[in-house]
Amino acid sequence: MDRNQEIALTQMRKSVEKLGSSTESYGEKTLMRFLIARSMNPEKTAKMFCQWKKWRAEMGLSKNGHPVVMVKSNKHFPSKDQVQFKKFVVHLLDKTIASSFNGRETGNEKLIGIVDLQDITYSNADLRGLITGFQFLQAYYPERLAICYLLNMPQFFVTVWRFVCLFLDKATQEKVRIVTSEEQKQEFIREVGEDVLPEEYGGRAKLVLLQNVAVNY
């Protein structure tokens, strides 16, 4: 990066702050893309960058730009038609990943999964469904999962989860975080972002049903 680019980058960061936003968590290469797009004009770049951040938030992406999919387990019941269920899993993963880009995908898009186990009963505990979902991620969506949070896990589900882990690769298991303590909850909120998390989970967003997600292809 030459001297003129460094100066423009510094001015752009300051302009973004004046607009009430921040370039924190964004690297120089990302910010330079915006500067180049606006002919190295710091003020115009700052405006474009802030509009982009607003758009990303409206798309339901995490602080790191990952699309977030939430599963409320007490609304789920094991499917009798496993073929259709597997097709649904593919549809869910494809649509979630597609929501992270506008135009052509780059190939390294990842998603964040949140599984809420609040008020789950034995009739909701879909052992086969859980294994299918994670195995699909492992076999057909390599490195698409950024992280998966398990919330409100009841005691009986601990045994269920241990069994599911027998079918998961070590790399996948390391991406799963079970949120139990208040400290872990606050970390979860910080990492995903308040603008994305629904109010009931400590955020400011509204839940959007799968069929209502707007995707740009």
Cα 211 to chain centroid distance, Å, stands at 17
- Pair 154, 124: CB distance under 8 Å: no
pLDDT digits (tens, 9 = 90+) for 33-51: 899 999 999 999 999 999 8
Single pTM value for the model: 0.69
- Pair 141, 93: CB distance under 8 Å: yes
Buried b (16+ CB within 10 A) or exposed e, 175-199: bbebbeeeeeeeebbebbbebbbbe
DSSP state, residue 188: H
* Of the candidates 146, 55, 137, the residue with the CA atom closest to the CA atom of residue 102: 55
Helices (H) and strands (E) in the chain, counts: 8, 4
pLDDT digits (tens, 9 = 90+) for 37-88: 999 999 999 999 998 877 666 656 777 778 888 999 999 999 999 999 999 9
